[in-house]
Structure 1
Protein backbone atom coordinates (compact mmCIF):
# COMPACT_ATOMS: atom_id res chain seq x y z
CA UNK A 1 0.00 0.00 0.00
CA UNK A 2 2.94 2.32 0.64
CA UNK A 3 3.69 2.30 -3.10
CA UNK A 4 0.40 4.11 -3.73
CA UNK A 5 0.73 6.63 -0.93
CA UNK A 6 1.87 10.22 -1.09
CA UNK A 7 3.09 11.49 2.29
CA UNK A 8 1.69 14.83 3.46
CA UNK A 9 3.22 16.61 6.45
CA UNK A 10 1.02 19.10 8.31
CA UNK A 11 1.91 21.71 10.88
CA UNK A 12 -0.42 22.32 13.80
CA UNK A 13 -3.42 24.27 12.51
CA UNK A 14 -2.84 23.35 8.86
CA UNK A 15 -5.94 22.41 6.86
CA UNK A 16 -5.94 19.03 5.09
CA UNK A 17 -9.27 19.43 3.24
CA UNK A 18 -12.08 21.96 3.19
CA UNK A 19 -15.79 21.24 3.01
CA UNK A 20 -17.00 21.52 -0.57
CA UNK A 21 -13.60 20.88 -2.18
CA UNK A 22 -13.35 18.14 -4.84
CA UNK A 23 -12.66 14.77 -3.15
CA UNK A 24 -10.17 12.71 -5.20
CA UNK A 25 -8.28 11.32 -2.19
CA UNK A 26 -8.57 8.93 0.73
CA UNK A 27 -6.34 9.67 3.72
CA UNK A 28 -4.73 7.54 6.42
CA UNK A 29 -3.25 9.19 9.50
CA UNK A 30 0.26 7.92 10.24
CA UNK A 31 0.95 10.15 13.25
CA UNK A 32 -0.54 13.14 15.00
CA UNK A 33 -4.23 14.04 15.18
CA UNK A 34 -6.94 15.89 13.24
CA UNK A 35 -10.24 17.52 14.03
CA UNK A 36 -13.07 17.02 11.55
CA UNK A 37 -15.80 19.64 11.43
CA UNK A 38 -18.66 21.24 9.54
CA UNK A 39 -19.68 24.89 9.48
CA UNK A 40 -23.35 25.57 10.22
CA UNK A 41 -25.34 28.14 8.21
CA UNK A 42 -25.15 30.62 11.10
CA UNK A 43 -21.34 30.41 11.13
CA UNK A 44 -20.99 28.13 14.15
CA UNK A 45 -18.68 25.13 13.97
CA UNK A 46 -19.67 21.58 14.85
CA UNK A 47 -16.70 19.28 15.38
CA UNK A 48 -17.92 15.85 14.36
CA UNK A 49 -14.87 13.92 15.50
CA UNK A 50 -11.20 13.69 16.37
CA UNK A 51 -8.95 11.34 14.41
CA UNK A 52 -5.65 9.76 15.39
CA UNK A 53 -2.96 7.46 13.98
CA UNK A 54 -4.52 4.50 12.15
CA UNK A 55 -7.76 6.31 11.31
CA UNK A 56 -8.94 6.80 7.72
CA UNK A 57 -10.62 9.86 6.25
CA UNK A 58 -12.56 10.34 3.02
CA UNK A 59 -13.78 6.78 2.53
CA UNK A 60 -17.35 7.85 1.75
CA UNK A 61 -18.44 7.93 -1.88
CA UNK A 62 -18.94 11.45 -3.21
CA UNK A 63 -17.47 14.02 -5.56
CA UNK A 64 -16.86 16.63 -2.85
CA UNK A 65 -15.73 16.54 0.77
CA UNK A 66 -18.65 17.04 3.16
CA UNK A 67 -16.35 18.11 6.01
CA UNK A 68 -13.21 20.08 6.76
CA UNK A 69 -10.19 18.53 8.47
CA UNK A 70 -7.41 20.36 10.31
CA UNK A 71 -4.31 19.20 12.19
CA UNK A 72 -4.36 19.70 15.96
CA UNK A 73 -0.61 19.02 16.20
CA UNK A 74 2.21 18.23 13.74
CA UNK A 75 0.86 15.28 11.76
CA UNK A 76 1.89 12.92 8.98
CA UNK A 77 -0.80 11.80 6.54
CA UNK A 78 -0.73 9.21 3.74
CA UNK A 79 -2.79 10.29 0.73
CA UNK A 80 -4.19 7.84 -1.84
CA UNK A 81 -6.13 8.47 -5.01
CA UNK A 82 -9.56 6.89 -4.66
CA UNK A 83 -9.46 4.72 -7.79
CA UNK A 84 -6.20 2.84 -7.08
CA UNK A 85 -7.10 2.66 -3.37
CA UNK A 86 -10.47 1.01 -4.05
CA UNK A 87 -8.82 -1.46 -6.42
CA UNK A 88 -6.29 -2.30 -3.71
CA UNK A 89 -9.09 -2.89 -1.21
CA UNK A 90 -10.82 -5.31 -3.60
CA UNK A 91 -7.57 -7.25 -4.00
CA UNK A 92 -6.76 -7.35 -0.27
CA UNK A 93 -9.30 -9.13 1.99
CA UNK A 94 -7.30 -8.19 5.10
CA UNK A 95 -7.44 -4.47 4.24
CA UNK A 96 -11.12 -4.77 3.37
CA UNK A 97 -11.72 -6.33 6.80
CA UNK A 98 -9.84 -3.49 8.54
CA UNK A 99 -11.86 -0.85 6.71
CA UNK A 100 -15.15 -2.63 7.45
CA UNK A 101 -14.24 -2.79 11.14
CA UNK A 102 -13.37 0.92 11.19
CA UNK A 103 -16.55 1.83 9.34
CA UNK A 104 -18.63 -0.06 11.91
CA UNK A 105 -16.72 1.70 14.71
CA UNK A 106 -17.37 5.10 13.11
CA UNK A 107 -21.08 4.30 12.79
CA UNK A 108 -21.25 3.37 16.48
CA UNK A 109 -19.35 6.55 17.35
CA UNK A 110 -21.80 8.64 15.30
CA UNK A 111 -24.74 7.03 17.12
CA UNK A 112 -23.12 7.74 20.49
CA UNK A 113 -22.51 11.33 19.41
CA UNK A 114 -26.20 11.76 18.56
CA UNK A 115 -27.11 10.43 22.01
CA UNK A 116 -24.62 12.74 23.71
CA UNK A 117 -25.91 15.83 21.94
CA UNK A 118 -29.57 14.94 22.25
CA UNK A 119 -29.99 13.43 25.70
CA UNK A 120 -26.98 13.88 27.96
CA UNK A 121 -26.30 16.65 30.47
CA UNK A 122 -23.07 18.63 30.33
CA UNK A 123 -21.30 16.54 32.97
CA UNK A 124 -22.51 13.30 31.35
CA UNK A 125 -21.16 14.43 27.96
CA UNK A 126 -17.78 15.43 29.36
CA UNK A 127 -17.44 12.30 31.50
CA UNK A 128 -18.14 10.06 28.50
CA UNK A 129 -15.68 12.03 26.37
CA UNK A 130 -12.84 11.76 28.91
CA UNK A 131 -13.36 8.02 29.37
CA UNK A 132 -13.59 7.33 25.63
CA UNK A 133 -10.74 9.50 24.35
CA UNK A 134 -7.69 7.38 25.38
CA UNK A 135 -9.00 4.42 23.40
CA UNK A 136 -9.22 6.53 20.26
CA UNK A 137 -5.42 6.95 20.14
CA UNK A 138 -3.99 3.43 20.59
CA UNK A 139 -0.71 4.31 18.89
CA UNK A 140 0.18 6.36 21.99
CA UNK A 141 -0.66 4.10 24.94
CA UNK A 142 -1.63 5.87 28.12
CA UNK A 143 -1.12 5.00 31.75
CA UNK A 144 -4.34 4.01 33.56
CA UNK A 145 -6.55 7.07 33.84
CA UNK A 146 -4.27 9.29 31.77
CA UNK A 147 -6.05 11.47 29.18
CA UNK A 148 -4.11 13.47 26.60
CA UNK A 149 -6.00 16.50 25.36
CA UNK A 150 -4.53 17.49 22.01
CA UNK A 151 -7.61 19.61 21.43
CA UNK A 152 -8.38 22.98 22.99
CA UNK A 153 -11.24 23.59 25.42
CA UNK A 154 -13.16 25.43 22.69
CA UNK A 155 -12.81 22.39 20.41
CA UNK A 156 -14.13 20.08 23.11
CA UNK A 157 -17.06 22.46 23.49
CA UNK A 158 -17.76 22.46 19.74
CA UNK A 159 -17.64 18.66 19.72
CA UNK A 160 -19.96 18.19 22.70
CA UNK A 161 -22.43 20.93 21.82
CA UNK A 162 -21.50 23.03 24.86
CA UNK A 163 -20.02 26.47 25.47
CA UNK A 164 -16.38 26.83 26.45
CA UNK A 165 -17.57 28.35 29.75
CA UNK A 166 -19.60 25.22 30.50
CA UNK A 167 -16.67 22.93 29.68
CA UNK A 168 -14.37 24.93 31.98
CA UNK A 169 -16.97 24.99 34.75
CA UNK A 170 -17.61 21.22 34.59
CA UNK A 171 -13.89 20.42 34.54
CA UNK A 172 -13.40 22.64 37.60
CA UNK A 173 -16.26 20.87 39.38
CA UNK A 174 -14.76 17.47 38.50
CA UNK A 175 -11.42 18.58 39.90
CA UNK A 176 -12.95 19.91 43.13
CA UNK A 177 -14.85 16.63 43.57
CA UNK A 178 -11.67 14.57 43.13
CA UNK A 179 -12.79 12.98 39.85
CA UNK A 180 -9.79 14.32 37.93
CA UNK A 181 -6.42 15.93 38.48
CA UNK A 182 -4.62 18.07 35.93
CA UNK A 183 -0.93 17.72 35.08
CA UNK A 184 -0.88 20.36 32.33
CA UNK A 185 -3.37 22.12 30.01
CA UNK A 186 -3.02 19.11 27.69
CA UNK A 187 -3.07 16.23 30.16
CA UNK A 188 -5.28 15.12 33.02
CA UNK A 189 -5.84 11.97 35.04
CA UNK A 190 -9.17 10.36 35.85
CA UNK A 191 -8.71 9.63 39.56
CA UNK A 192 -12.06 7.93 40.17
CA UNK A 193 -12.95 6.00 37.00
CA UNK A 194 -15.89 4.15 38.56
CA UNK A 195 -17.48 7.39 39.68
CA UNK A 196 -16.72 8.99 36.32
CA UNK A 197 -18.39 6.06 34.57
CA UNK A 198 -21.49 6.58 36.70
CA UNK A 199 -21.61 10.20 35.56
CA UNK A 200 -21.19 9.13 31.92
CA UNK A 201 -24.12 6.73 32.25
CA UNK A 202 -26.31 9.24 34.06
CA UNK A 203 -26.40 7.13 37.22
CA UNK A 204 -25.44 9.94 39.60
Structure 2
Protein backbone atom coordinates (compact mmCIF):
# COMPACT_ATOMS: atom_id res chain seq x y z
CA UNK A 1 0.00 0.00 0.00
CA UNK A 2 1.12 3.55 -0.73
CA UNK A 3 -0.02 6.46 1.43
CA UNK A 4 0.13 10.04 0.22
CA UNK A 5 -0.29 13.45 1.80
CA UNK A 6 -1.89 16.34 -0.12
CA UNK A 7 0.27 17.50 -3.07
CA UNK A 8 2.40 14.35 -3.02
CA UNK A 9 2.77 12.68 -6.42
CA UNK A 10 2.10 9.05 -7.31
CA UNK A 11 4.16 9.38 -10.49
CA UNK A 12 5.14 12.06 -12.99
CA UNK A 13 4.53 12.44 -16.68
CA UNK A 14 7.30 10.61 -18.54
CA UNK A 15 8.20 8.23 -15.68
CA UNK A 16 8.60 4.57 -16.68
CA UNK A 17 5.20 2.87 -16.42
CA UNK A 18 6.14 0.00 -14.13
CA UNK A 19 3.18 -0.10 -11.74
CA UNK A 20 -0.61 -0.16 -11.78
CA UNK A 21 -2.48 1.49 -8.91
CA UNK A 22 -5.96 1.27 -7.46
CA UNK A 23 -7.31 4.09 -5.30
CA UNK A 24 -8.73 2.79 -2.02
CA UNK A 25 -9.15 6.07 -0.13
CA UNK A 26 -8.93 9.78 -0.89
CA UNK A 27 -8.80 11.66 -4.18
CA UNK A 28 -6.21 12.51 -6.85
CA UNK A 29 -5.84 14.84 -9.80
CA UNK A 30 -4.32 14.01 -13.18
CA UNK A 31 -2.57 16.73 -15.15
CA UNK A 32 -0.21 17.38 -18.01
CA UNK A 33 1.99 20.38 -18.73
CA UNK A 34 1.47 22.20 -22.02
CA UNK A 35 4.36 23.42 -24.16
CA UNK A 36 4.04 26.95 -22.77
CA UNK A 37 4.24 25.70 -19.17
CA UNK A 38 0.54 25.94 -18.39
CA UNK A 39 -1.10 23.06 -16.52
CA UNK A 40 -4.14 21.21 -17.86
CA UNK A 41 -5.95 18.99 -15.40
CA UNK A 42 -7.39 16.08 -17.34
CA UNK A 43 -9.32 14.30 -14.61
CA UNK A 44 -9.84 13.36 -10.98
CA UNK A 45 -9.62 9.89 -9.46
CA UNK A 46 -11.54 8.46 -6.51
CA UNK A 47 -11.79 5.14 -4.62
CA UNK A 48 -12.22 2.23 -7.00
CA UNK A 49 -10.40 3.91 -9.89
CA UNK A 50 -7.30 2.38 -11.52
CA UNK A 51 -4.17 4.29 -12.54
CA UNK A 52 -1.41 3.31 -14.92
CA UNK A 53 -3.34 0.73 -16.94
CA UNK A 54 -1.65 1.42 -20.27
CA UNK A 55 0.25 -0.25 -23.09
CA UNK A 56 2.69 2.67 -23.20
CA UNK A 57 6.13 2.44 -21.62
CA UNK A 58 5.81 5.85 -19.93
CA UNK A 59 3.06 7.49 -17.90
CA UNK A 60 1.26 10.10 -20.00
CA UNK A 61 0.38 12.40 -17.09
CA UNK A 62 1.30 13.37 -13.54
CA UNK A 63 -0.90 12.19 -10.66
CA UNK A 64 -1.01 14.13 -7.39
CA UNK A 65 -3.00 13.65 -4.18
CA UNK A 66 -5.70 16.19 -3.34
CA UNK A 67 -6.04 14.94 0.23
CA UNK A 68 -4.77 12.06 2.38
CA UNK A 69 -4.91 9.16 -0.05
CA UNK A 70 -4.20 5.44 -0.04
CA UNK A 71 -3.49 3.21 -3.04
CA UNK A 72 -2.78 -0.43 -3.63
CA UNK A 73 -0.13 -1.00 -6.27
CA UNK A 74 0.98 -3.94 -8.40
CA UNK A 75 3.84 -4.42 -10.83
CA UNK A 76 2.59 -4.42 -14.41
CA UNK A 77 3.69 -8.07 -14.73
CA UNK A 78 1.77 -9.12 -11.62
CA UNK A 79 -1.25 -7.14 -12.75
CA UNK A 80 -1.21 -8.77 -16.20
CA UNK A 81 -1.07 -12.22 -14.57
CA UNK A 82 -3.93 -11.32 -12.27
CA UNK A 83 -6.05 -10.16 -15.22
CA UNK A 84 -5.31 -13.38 -17.11
CA UNK A 85 -6.48 -15.43 -14.11
CA UNK A 86 -9.61 -13.33 -13.48
CA UNK A 87 -11.51 -12.64 -16.72
CA UNK A 88 -14.28 -10.87 -14.82
CA UNK A 89 -11.77 -8.19 -13.79
CA UNK A 90 -10.73 -7.77 -17.41
CA UNK A 91 -14.38 -7.22 -18.37
CA UNK A 92 -14.70 -4.60 -15.65
CA UNK A 93 -11.59 -2.83 -16.94
CA UNK A 94 -13.08 -2.76 -20.43
CA UNK A 95 -16.22 -1.22 -18.95
CA UNK A 96 -14.16 1.38 -17.11
CA UNK A 97 -12.17 2.15 -20.27
CA UNK A 98 -15.41 2.70 -22.20
CA UNK A 99 -16.65 4.99 -19.43
CA UNK A 100 -13.38 6.97 -19.49
CA UNK A 101 -13.68 7.38 -23.27
CA UNK A 102 -17.22 8.70 -22.88
CA UNK A 103 -16.01 11.07 -20.15
CA UNK A 104 -13.21 12.33 -22.42
CA UNK A 105 -15.72 13.00 -25.19
CA UNK A 106 -17.99 14.88 -22.77
CA UNK A 107 -15.00 16.89 -21.58
CA UNK A 108 -14.22 17.93 -25.17
CA UNK A 109 -17.79 19.19 -25.59
CA UNK A 110 -17.66 20.89 -22.21
CA UNK A 111 -14.48 22.81 -23.03
CA UNK A 112 -15.35 23.56 -26.61
CA UNK A 113 -19.01 24.49 -26.57
CA UNK A 114 -20.29 25.30 -23.08
CA UNK A 115 -20.41 28.61 -21.26
CA UNK A 116 -18.74 28.97 -17.87
CA UNK A 117 -21.84 28.35 -15.73
CA UNK A 118 -22.76 25.36 -17.90
CA UNK A 119 -19.29 23.89 -17.41
CA UNK A 120 -19.45 24.18 -13.62
CA UNK A 121 -22.99 22.76 -13.51
CA UNK A 122 -21.90 19.80 -15.67
CA UNK A 123 -18.91 19.21 -13.42
CA UNK A 124 -21.04 19.22 -10.29
CA UNK A 125 -23.56 16.81 -11.82
CA UNK A 126 -20.71 14.46 -12.70
CA UNK A 127 -19.47 14.50 -9.10
CA UNK A 128 -23.00 13.87 -7.84
CA UNK A 129 -23.38 10.91 -10.24
CA UNK A 130 -20.08 9.50 -8.98
CA UNK A 131 -21.20 9.86 -5.35
CA UNK A 132 -24.36 7.92 -6.22
CA UNK A 133 -22.42 5.14 -7.95
CA UNK A 134 -20.19 4.84 -4.89
CA UNK A 135 -23.07 4.70 -2.39
CA UNK A 136 -25.54 2.79 -4.56
CA UNK A 137 -28.37 5.18 -3.70
CA UNK A 138 -29.72 8.62 -4.55
CA UNK A 139 -27.63 11.48 -3.11
CA UNK A 140 -28.04 15.21 -2.80
CA UNK A 141 -24.51 16.01 -1.58
CA UNK A 142 -20.97 15.38 -2.79
CA UNK A 143 -17.45 16.16 -1.63
CA UNK A 144 -15.31 18.74 -3.41
CA UNK A 145 -11.73 17.81 -2.47
CA UNK A 146 -10.14 19.84 -5.27
CA UNK A 147 -9.30 23.54 -4.96
CA UNK A 148 -10.95 26.30 -6.97
CA UNK A 149 -7.80 26.61 -9.09
CA UNK A 150 -7.89 22.85 -9.76
CA UNK A 151 -11.50 23.17 -10.94
CA UNK A 152 -10.49 26.13 -13.11
CA UNK A 153 -7.64 24.18 -14.72
CA UNK A 154 -9.99 21.28 -15.42
CA UNK A 155 -12.79 23.40 -16.88
CA UNK A 156 -10.56 25.77 -18.87
CA UNK A 157 -11.56 28.78 -16.77
CA UNK A 158 -9.88 31.18 -14.37
CA UNK A 159 -10.10 30.82 -10.61
CA UNK A 160 -12.03 34.10 -10.46
CA UNK A 161 -14.58 32.85 -13.00
CA UNK A 162 -15.07 29.61 -11.04
CA UNK A 163 -15.73 31.62 -7.86
CA UNK A 164 -18.14 33.89 -9.74
CA UNK A 165 -20.02 30.98 -11.28
CA UNK A 166 -20.18 29.22 -7.93
CA UNK A 167 -21.76 32.32 -6.42
CA UNK A 168 -24.16 32.46 -9.38
CA UNK A 169 -25.33 28.85 -8.89
CA UNK A 170 -25.84 29.60 -5.21
CA UNK A 171 -27.82 32.78 -5.95
CA UNK A 172 -30.17 30.73 -8.15
CA UNK A 173 -30.56 28.27 -5.26
CA UNK A 174 -29.35 25.39 -7.40
CA UNK A 175 -26.68 24.45 -4.85
CA UNK A 176 -25.61 25.23 -1.31
CA UNK A 177 -22.16 24.96 0.25
CA UNK A 178 -22.39 22.89 3.43
CA UNK A 179 -18.67 23.55 3.86
CA UNK A 180 -15.81 24.76 1.67
CA UNK A 181 -15.41 21.22 0.30
CA UNK A 182 -18.98 19.91 0.54
CA UNK A 183 -21.78 20.78 -1.90
CA UNK A 184 -25.50 20.16 -1.54
CA UNK A 185 -27.62 20.13 -4.71
CA UNK A 186 -30.91 21.91 -3.96
CA UNK A 187 -32.43 21.71 -7.45
CA UNK A 188 -31.09 18.86 -9.57
CA UNK A 189 -33.40 19.44 -12.52
CA UNK A 190 -32.49 23.13 -12.55
CA UNK A 191 -28.79 22.26 -12.41
CA UNK A 192 -29.29 19.84 -15.32
CA UNK A 193 -31.02 22.56 -17.33
CA UNK A 194 -28.12 24.89 -16.60
CA UNK A 195 -25.62 22.24 -17.71
CA UNK A 196 -27.58 21.73 -20.96
CA UNK A 197 -27.74 25.46 -21.68
CA UNK A 198 -31.52 25.50 -21.29
CA UNK A 199 -31.63 28.14 -18.56
CA UNK A 200 -32.05 31.76 -19.56
CA UNK A 201 -30.31 32.76 -16.34
CA UNK A 202 -26.89 31.40 -17.27
CA UNK A 203 -24.05 33.88 -17.72
CA UNK A 204 -20.58 33.69 -19.26
TM bin (shorter chain): over 0.9
In 2: Cα distance, 1:143 partner to 1:113 partner: 24
The aligned runs of 1:70-149 (5 Å cut-off) are 70-137=64-131, 138-139=133-134, 144-149=139-144
1:179 aligns with 2:200: no
Corresponding residue for 1:3?
none
Q: How far is the alpha carbon of 1:22 from its aligned partner? A: 0.9
Corresponding residue for 1:14?
8
1:202 aligns with 2:197: yes
Q: Gaps spanning 5+ residues in structure 2: where?
A: 200-204
In 1: Cα distance, 2:181 partner to 2:81 partner: 40
Q: Gaps spanning 5+ residues in structure 1: where?
A: 1-6
Asked whether the 8 Å contact 1:134–1:142 carries over to 2, the reply is: no
SS in 2 for 1:43: coil
In 2: Cα distance, 1:25 partner to 1:149 partner: 28
Deviations 1:132-174 (Å, cap 9, x if unpaired)?
1133344467873212100000000000011001100011111
Q: How far is the alpha carbon of 1:202 from its aligned partner? A: 1.3
Aligned residues: 198
In 1: Cα distance, 2:28 partner to 2:152 partner: 16
1:192 aligns with 2:183: no
Asked whether the 8 Å contact 2:128–2:139 carries over to 1, the reply is: no
In 2: Cα distance, 1:141 partner to 1:10 partner: 27
When residues 53 and 19 of structure 1 are mapped into structure 2, their CA distance, relative to the original with a 3 A threshold, is same
Could you state the TM-score of these two structures normalised by the residue count of structure 1? 0.93
Could you state the TM-score of these two structures normalised by the residue count of structure 2? 0.93
SS in 2 for 1:42: coil
